[in-house]
Structures are given as C-alpha cells and as structure tokens.
C-alpha cells in the first residue's frame, strides 16, 4: 500500500470537529446539546437572497467567469466603496468562501518555508491553509488580560526574519471577538511598510460590531495599498455559510493576477451562491440593525453570565459573535469532552470549542474555550446555567479522583 | 512593494482563457464566434435538479458536513454500486467540483518534489493542481497516430524513479476523447502495484462513451483498491458546471482521512450544488440516451468534416466530447489567434484551444488543437466550413508573407 504524504499526515484535524462524535452520542441518548462550538448562526438568511435562487430561470447551470460574475463584482465594489473601501470590480475576486480567498492569497504571496506572523489565538483553519501553501505560522501571543488586544510592536519586531513575508489579522477576531482600533491598524501599517510585508486582513465579521463602535477596514489606513490582501465572505454577514461565497480584495495587480490563475484552475465559484450573494446586497439596512442588536444582547447575556460563574474570566468582545473565556479547569478539552460524555443537567449539556486549537504555541489556551453566541438569549441563558453546574460537578469528580 | 511568490509566478495561465480577449474583440465587431474551445455543454440541466433548487424551503443556508450531506453520499454510493464501483458512503467525499477532489487527493498523496506520471496531452489544469501541491508532472507522450492510446508499459518503466508517487489518467480523456480498454487499465494496475504507486483516475466523462462501447472504471480492475483515488464531477454529466460539485472516491482509509482534513479546513461544499446534485441522481435514463446519441452524432459530424479538410488529421474518439486534431499549420496558437482577430467568413469565426497547452513537454502539440463538440450539429457544420476556409486563407497570408 503506498503511503500518504507528510503534508497529509501533518494536516491538523479540526479541533472543533474532533468533539463531534461525543455530541452525537449525547444526542443519541436524547440530550439537548447547546452548540456554542461553531459559528453557524441561527439568524435567517435575507429573503431577497433565498428568492433570487428560487427565481433562477436558466436551463443550464453554467460556469461563470473565474473571478466571478461581472455584475456581482460591480455591485460588490459599490458596496465596498460605501464602506470607504475604494476597490473597483477588477480588484474584487469572488471565491468559494473566504477560505479560498485566503488560500489563493497565501499561495500567491508565500513560498514553501516563508513565514507569516499571526496574533494568537487565531482561527484554527489558518494552520491548515498555511500548511497547504507550505508556509510557516509564527504566532505572537495576545492575552486575555487585555481582551486580546494587538501585542506591542516590539513583539512583532522580534519575530521578523528574512523569511517573513506577511502578517495576518482577523478583525473583528474569530475567536476572540477583539475589534482592532485605528491606532492598532496604523501600528501594523508601520511594521508592514518598514519590513515590506504583505498584510492579510480577514474582515468577514465587519458588520458585527457593538456598543456603537465602527469597524475600521485596513483599506482605510493610508500607505497600505500595495501590501494589502483582504479576505471577505458572505457566510456570516447574511447567514448563508452554505452558499460558499467569499471574496479576495487587493489593489496589488501582481497578487490579483496570480490569484486569478489559481482561480482559473478551479474554473469558477458556485453559480447559485453567486446569485444569492448578489441579491443579498439588496438586503435592507434594517436587517443588520436587528441582527446586530440581537447579537449585542446575546453577547451581554453570555459574557455577563460567564463572569458570574466562580473562577470564569471573560473579556467583553467588541465584535464578531465569539468570545474566549478562561475556565477554572486545567484541561479545557478534557472538560469539554466530559461535558458531552459524562455530564447532564436537566437533560441538557453544552458543546464548546477547546481553546488550545486556536494557539500555535504548544501549551497555550489549555484552560480556555471559545464560545459562539449564535443561539437565542433563552438558549444562551440555559447553556450558561448548564455550564455553571457542569464546572461544579467536574470539580467534585476531579477532587474525588485525587 | 512586497514581491509575490515564485509559485504565483510559475502558475500557468489558462492556455484557453488566454485567447478570450481576442474572442471578445471579435464579438464586439458583431461576429459570430463558434466556441469549440471550452467544455461548456449546451445541453439542458435535468429539470429534476433545477426544480430541487427552486423548491428549497430552508430559512438558513447552513454549512453541510465537510464530506458533504450524508443523504447525498448514500445516494451517490448506490449510483456508483450500480456501475460496479463498490464504494460505501464513507468512501465518497463530496467536493467543490472535480478540481477540489483532485487537489485534495494530490495534497494527501504527494509531497513537494514528488513525481506524478501523466500521459500527455492532458487536461491543462492538472499542471496547476500539481504546482499547488508542489508535485512534479512527468509526462509520457501519447500519439495522434494511434488515437492517443496508452503508451507502452516500458515507457512508464523508464520514467519511474524513487520520487514517483503516482500515475494520473483521465478516462475517457479530456482532451483526446480516448477511451481506455480494460487491458490498458490492467497494464496500469500492474505498473502501479509493482512500484507501489497511487493511481489517480479522473472519470468525470464516464457516461459519454460511443459506438455501443462501455466505460470501464478503474474500480473494476482487481488489485487496485488501496492504490486508487478516483475523481468525479457532476459538471458535465448533468450539464451543471456551475453547481461546483464533484467527488473523491477512495477505499484507502489513510487517503480519505487526510482528504477529510483538507475538506474540514474549507468547511463544506456548496449547499445548493449538493441539493441539485442529489436530485440529479433521479434523472431518467432516457436523458442520457438522448444526450449520448446527440454527442455521438456531433462527434461524427465534426470528425468527418475535419478529416475532409486538406491536411487535417483527426482520430475518432471513443468518449467524452473533445477531440484533438492535427492542423496543417506550424503554430496552432498563432492560427487560433489569427482566426479570431483577422479572419471572418460570412461574419463567422471559430475559437479552438491550441494543443501545446495540453502537453508538458515543450514543443509538442504545436500543430494540434482541441475541439469540444458542445454545440449542435448545425453550428458544428458551420464551424467546420469556417475552419476549412480559415486554413486556406491563413496559408495564402503566410505564403504572401514569405
């Protein structure tokens, strides 16, 4: 039997999906599992997007342009321009999810052995895309004590080598919900320009910012134009994760031309997703007002209740719909599995994502979990009550075992 | 300005899409361009697939399982079993087009510097996927004289080194239309088993075989089980290229587990494509009877007319809907561009794919073109008439220039 590649062996299994069998087993036993582990929103997709797909009148589901339908790119460029992101339709490439945009960007900018600096904790799949591109992730640790703010500039300087090609940020952040300030982005700009690096900015949660704050795009920061590759996605924005539509934005013509060659190889992004995505741009602003208000309430409920649990520490994130909390346990993964396999409270339990999967530095995040507030407030309240009881019971079990 | 990756620079531009600006210019001048250059069929998508999408009743377009919806995988496994392809739903992975299946397969089996042997001419995008995976393509030249049959076994033996990890075939072949015999597949099996290689088989044109012949899947060849990675796609089968749905089939559990990790990183294949694809499995057999009859007639018309043109040589392909023809020109790419930019016959011209883009060996295929018979018989006849006049006029121009 031939052996698989080293790459295939090294590819990390999803730290979240690893727990799925335990959740499935719990459900088979008839238990209610509150899924705070993944970013699958329960918010309805805008009707205008669903209708557009239903109203498809073609007789053939044809390939589109490799960069995506021109009509969609034009409309998207207009949407970005309204947000002070000055891109034309030729600087926008429609991709199969934000994932593909990041992969095309990494492939276009980094060779095998090149380094990309990413503040950790970070979205776990960045590891997979870096490995696919053969690039090395160099983490810079952000800390729960200051809500996972951008680490100090000298932390970056220390990590920059001759192999450093890029810095990657997610703003607002998955998993921490941290919203970068304009000053932090300007700090990043200074490093990036000084060392002639690319800046990858994953801005897929752009719309989800709270407390009246405003999201600042990296495109609004002067001097970054030729350095910037922005990853976007409609998955969370319009609650249409399954459409598999994202976008790559760059004003760097070499990067765009290279990404387009990768795009041509895979022919085109999905037709129906593009139809839904283009129509979704007509979603009334009231949709977002409601959604953002709803998420903010959910965040307030979750973070408030979390901080009432003895030993739990949780910052108040400014955006996205995730938060990373510190739990009074030694091994959060063990605790998460235990919650699914051993614990039950009023026939309910909670599924969370263990924090260590979001760190590249071994040993970090072991007592942290990521929680997504993608359920309604009532479910979140119940899940937090469940978690509080779970932590208590877990300690009793651990003490007994000692 | 930071510089892009070597990979991005080396990535080949699509040899077909390179001619697009010339075609666009011809159309701007009001000319009819017969597109024989790409495999975008004009056949209607089965109504049952279009209806399934229209009847989507969900309120949220959610992520699916990373391996694709279980209901779809089960139905697909039943479809394969009917074709003597004995896979279970756990050995089928739904991918974003056949492209992604091939990419996941290559990533899972080959490391940087590993070699994959491919009979040429081959589907041009194999180059791009190999480059993405860091693998080296080692071509073995098939010849137009014997209709692009599998090269002799000792040609393969000569190319095998310690870095050889796999052989890749496309059956029936894009671009040649060649349909491999059972004996040829057994020859491949012997090489693959002897040298402990993977065999990648791109079988996306499985249904399109003519003259009463039957397609033999590599899965029907004994002794290949652990070596086999089959790439499939619904793009051509149901004329739904834009659905972006394919599949990876393997009984090798290590390969499947690795591919699944790549699949998890990109989250899930497109929801609407999966809905359409699952429904398409209920397409009545009469649909294929009609489509195959239609393509066979088109092939007969095209190949017959091609061989009537002085100096043109074209084998009679057994499957798919492409053929590679030799033209009486020195540089087919120059001729193809000239046809679009300089030539016009009764306000019409023809777009073809230059042959050299389908060869890895420099200099080969220079007097060849790939033609797709994806237009109706009347259009094909007109296109061939146009081509005959074009060749005549091109020779006059070239002689005058001498």
Tell me: the pLDDT tens digits for B155-194?
A: 999 999 999 999 999 999 999 999 999 999 999 999 999 9
* A134 has a pLDDT exceeding 90: yes
Tell me: the pLDDT tens digits for B221-250?
A: 999 999 999 999 999 999 999 999 999 999
Going from the C-alpha of A251 to that of each of A86, A106, A145, A254, the distances in angstroms are 9, 16, 36, 9
Question: To the nearest whole number, what is the mean pLDDT of chain A?
Answer: 96
Distance of alpha carbon B293 from alpha carbon B321, whole angstroms:
12
Tell me: the pLDDT tens digits for B115-159?
A: 999 999 999 999 999 999 999 999 999 999 999 999 999 999 999
Task: Check residue A186 and give its pLDDT.
Answer: 97
Distance of alpha carbon B120 from alpha carbon B176, whole angstroms:
9
Neighbours of A37 (CB within 10 A): 25
Tell me: the pLDDT tens digits for A336-359?
A: 999 999 999 999 999 999 999 999
Average pLDDT rounded to a whole number, residues A198-212 = 97
Across the interface, do B60 and A41 touch by the CB < 8 Å criterion? yes
CA distance B311 to chain A (A): 33
Average pLDDT rounded to a whole number, residues B251-261 = 97
Structure tokens at B146: 């014997």
Across the interface, do A261 and B5 touch by the CB < 8 Å criterion? no
Distance of alpha carbon B113 from alpha carbon B104, whole angstroms:
17
Query: Least CB-CB distance to B273: which of A129, A252, A270?
Result: A270
Task: Check residue A393 and give its pLDDT.
Answer: 97
Distance of alpha carbon A100 from alpha carbon A232, whole angstroms:
10
- Are B350 and B383 within 8 A, CB to CB? yes
Across the interface, do B56 and A59 touch by the CB < 8 Å criterion? no
Phi, psi at B182, each rounded to 5° = -60, -40
Instruction: List A residues 35-64 in contact with B (Cβ-Cβ < 8 A).
Output: 38, 40-45, 49-50, 53-54, 56, 58-64
Across the interface, do A261 and B13 touch by the CB < 8 Å criterion? yes
Neighbours of A341 (CB within 10 A): 16
Neighbours of B284 (CB within 10 A): 11
HEC sequence for chain B: CCCCCHHHHHCCCCCCHHHHHHHHHHHHCCCEEEECCCCCCCCCCCHHHHHHHHCCCCCCCCCCCCCCCHHHHHHHHHHHHHCCCCCCHHHEEEECHHHHHHHHHHHHHCCCCCEEEEEECCCCHHHHHHHHHCCEEEEEECCHHHCCCCCCHHHHHHHCCCCEEEEEEECCCCCCCCCCCHHHHHHHHHHHHHCCCEEEEECCCCCCECCCCCCCCHHHCCCCHHHEEEEEECCCCCCCHHHCCEEEECCCHHHHHHHHHHHHHCCCCCHHHHHHHHHHCCCCHHHHHHHHHHHHHHHHHHHHHHHHCCCCECCCCCECCEEEEECCCCCHHHHHHHHHHCCCECCEEEECEEHHHHCCCCCCCCCEEEEECCCCHHHHHHHHHHHHHHHHHHHHHHHHHC
CA distance B134 to chain A (A): 9
Question: To the nearest whole number, what is the mean pLDDT of chain B?
Answer: 96
Across the interface, do B267 and A44 touch by the CB < 8 Å criterion? no
Tell which residue, B333, B332, B245, B251, has the closest CA to residue B45: B245
Distance of alpha carbon B214 from alpha carbon B250, whole angstroms:
22
Average pLDDT rounded to a whole number, residues A124-139 = 95
Going from the C-alpha of A52 to that of each of B33, B54, B277, the distances in angstroms are 31, 9, 19
Across the interface, do A244 and B268 touch by the CB < 8 Å criterion? yes
By 3-state DSSP, what share of chain A in percent is helix, strand and coil, each rounded to 5? 45, 15, 40
Identify all chain A residues contacting B70, using CB atoms and an 8 Å cutoff: none
Identify all chain A residues contacting B240, using CB atoms and an 8 Å cutoff: 60-61
SS3 state of residue A177: coil
CA distance A360 to chain B (A): 16
Nearest CA in chain A to B20: A65
SS3 state of residue A229: strand
Q: Is the reported ipTM for this assembly greater than 0.90?
A: yes
Q: How confident is the model at residue B38 (pLDDT cuts 50, 70, 90)?
A: confident
Instruction: List A residues 304-363 in contact with B (Cβ-Cβ < 8 A).
Output: none
Instruction: List B residues 150-209 in contact with A (Cβ-Cβ < 8 A).
Output: 165-166, 196-198
Identify all chain B residues contacting A42, using CB atoms and an 8 Å cutoff: 60
The vertex-A341 CA angle with A338 and A347, nearest 5°, equals 110
Write down the CATH number for the domain with range B6-44+286-401: 3.90.1150.10
SS3 state of residue A368: strand
Identify all chain A residues contacting B114, using CB atoms and an 8 Å cutoff: 5
CA distance A278 to chain B (A): 15
Task: Check residue A399 and give its pLDDT.
Answer: 82
* A25 has a pLDDT exceeding 80: yes
Task: Check residue B398 and give its pLDDT.
Answer: 85
Nearest 10 degrees: Cα torsion A391, A395, A397, A402:
160
* A312 has a pLDDT exceeding 80: yes
Q: How confident is the model at residue A39 (pLDDT cuts 50, 70, 90)?
A: confident
Task: Check residue B13 and give its pLDDT.
Answer: 84
Identify all chain A residues contacting B129, using CB atoms and an 8 Å cutoff: 265
Task: Check residue A401 and give its pLDDT.
Answer: 76
Q: Which residues of A372-385 are buried (b: 16+ CB within 10 A; e: fewer)?
A: bbbbeeebbbbbbb
A11 to chain B, any CB pair closer than 8 A? The answer is yes
Distance of alpha carbon A14 from alpha carbon B284, whole angstroms:
39
Torsion over CA: B93, B95, B97, B100 (sign): negative
DSSP state letters, A14-74: PTTGGGHHHHHHHHHTT-EEEE-SS----SPPPHHHHHHHHT---SS-----TT--HHHHH
Nearest CA in chain B to A259: B8
Residue ranges of domains in chain B: 6-44+286-401, 47-280
Average pLDDT rounded to a whole number, residues B3-24 = 89
Please state, for a pLDDT cut of 70, what percent of chain B lies above it. Answer: 100
Phi, psi at A113, each rounded to 5° = 90, -15
A138 to chain B, any CB pair closer than 8 A? The answer is no
Tell me: the pLDDT tens digits for B195-225?
A: 999 999 999 999 999 999 999 999 999 999 9
* A15 has a pLDDT exceeding 80: no
Tell me: the pLDDT tens digits for B269-311?
A: 999 999 999 999 999 999 999 999 999 999 999 999 999 999 9
* A306 has a pLDDT exceeding 80: yes
Which listed CATH number (2.40.50.140, 3.10.450.50, 3.40.640.10, 3.55.10.10) goes with B47-280?
3.40.640.10
Sheet order of strands, B115-120 included: B92-95, B246-249, B228-233, B198-202, B164-170, B115-120, B136-141
Instruction: List B residues 277-306 in contact with A (Cβ-Cβ < 8 A).
Output: none
Identify all chain A residues contacting B254, using CB atoms and an 8 Å cutoff: 3-4, 8
B13 versus A364: which is more confidently predicted? A364
Going from the C-alpha of B127 to that of each of A41, B23, B278, the distances in angstroms are 39, 24, 30
Task: Check residue A169 and give its pLDDT.
Answer: 98
Torsion over CA: A211, A213, A215, A218 (sign): negative
* A193 has a pLDDT exceeding 80: yes
Inter-chain Cβ pairs, chain A and chain B, closer than 8 A: 268
Query: Least CB-CB distance to B6: which of A58, A111, A129?
Result: A111
Across the interface, do A1 and B252 touch by the CB < 8 Å criterion? yes
Task: Check residue B18 and give its pLDDT.
Answer: 81
Structure tokens at B224: 């290949």
Across the interface, do B239 and A41 touch by the CB < 8 Å criterion? no
Task: Check residue A121 and give its pLDDT.
Answer: 98
Task: Check residue B280 and give its pLDDT.
Answer: 98
The vertex-A264 CA angle with B249 and B110, nearest 5°, equals 45
Among A103, A266, A376, most B C-beta atoms within 10 A, so best to mutate, is A266
Average pLDDT rounded to a whole number, residues B10-22 = 86
A375 to chain B, any CB pair closer than 8 A? The answer is no
Distance of alpha carbon B76 from alpha carbon B23, whole angstroms:
39
**DSSP E strands: which ranges in A109-194?**
115-120, 136-141, 164-170
């Amino acid at each position: 039997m031939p052996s698989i590649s080293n790459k295939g062996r090294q590819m990390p299994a999803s730290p979240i999906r690893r727990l799925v069998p335990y959740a499935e087993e719990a459900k088979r036993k008839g238990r209610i599992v509150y899924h705070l582990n993944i970013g699958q929103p329960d918010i309805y997709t805008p009707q205008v997007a669903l209708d557009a797909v239903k109203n498809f009148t073609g007789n053939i589901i044809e390939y589109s342009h490799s960069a995506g339908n021109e009509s969609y790119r034009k409309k998207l460029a207009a949407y970005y321009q309204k947000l002070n992101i000055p891109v034309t339709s030729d600087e926008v490439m429609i991709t199969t999810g934000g994932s593909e945009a990041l992969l095309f960007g990494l492939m276009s900018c980094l060779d095998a052995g090149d380094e990309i600096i990413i503040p950790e904790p970070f979205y776990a799949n960045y590891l997979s895309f870096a490995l696919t591109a053969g690039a090395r992730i160099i983490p810079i640790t952000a800390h729960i004590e200051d809500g996972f703010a951008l680490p100090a500039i000298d932390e970056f300087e220390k990590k920059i080598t001759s192999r450093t090609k890029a810095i990657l940020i997610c703003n607002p952040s998955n998993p921490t919900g941290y919203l970068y300030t304009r000053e932090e982005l300007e700090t990043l700009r200074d490093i990036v320009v000084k060392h002639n690096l690319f800046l990858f900015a994953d801005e897929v949660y752009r719309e989800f910012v709270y407390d009246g704050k405003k999201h600042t795009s990296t495109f609004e920061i002067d001097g970054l134009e030729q350095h910037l590759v922005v990853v976007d996605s409609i998955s969370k924005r319009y609650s249409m994760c399954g459409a598999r539509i994202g976008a790559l934005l760059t004003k760097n013509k070499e990067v765009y031309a290279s990404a387009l060659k990768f795009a041509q190889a895979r022919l085109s992004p999905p037709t129906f997703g593009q139809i839904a995505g283009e129509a979704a741009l007509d979603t009334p602003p009231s949709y977002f007002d409601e959604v953002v208000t709803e998420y903010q309430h959910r965040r307030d409920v979750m973070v408030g209740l979390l901080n009432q649990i003895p030993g739990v520490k949780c910052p108040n994130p400014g955006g996205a719909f995730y938060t990373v909390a510190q739990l009074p346990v030694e091994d959060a993964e063990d605790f998460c599995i235990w919650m699914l396999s051993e614990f039950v409270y009023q026939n309910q339990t909670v599924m969370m994502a263990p924090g260590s999967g979001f760190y590249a530095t071994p040993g970090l995040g072991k007592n942290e979990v990521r929680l997504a507030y993608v359920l309604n407030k009532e479910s979140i309240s119940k899940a937090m009550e469940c978690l509080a009881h779970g932590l208590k019971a877990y300690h009793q079990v651990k003490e007994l075992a000692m």
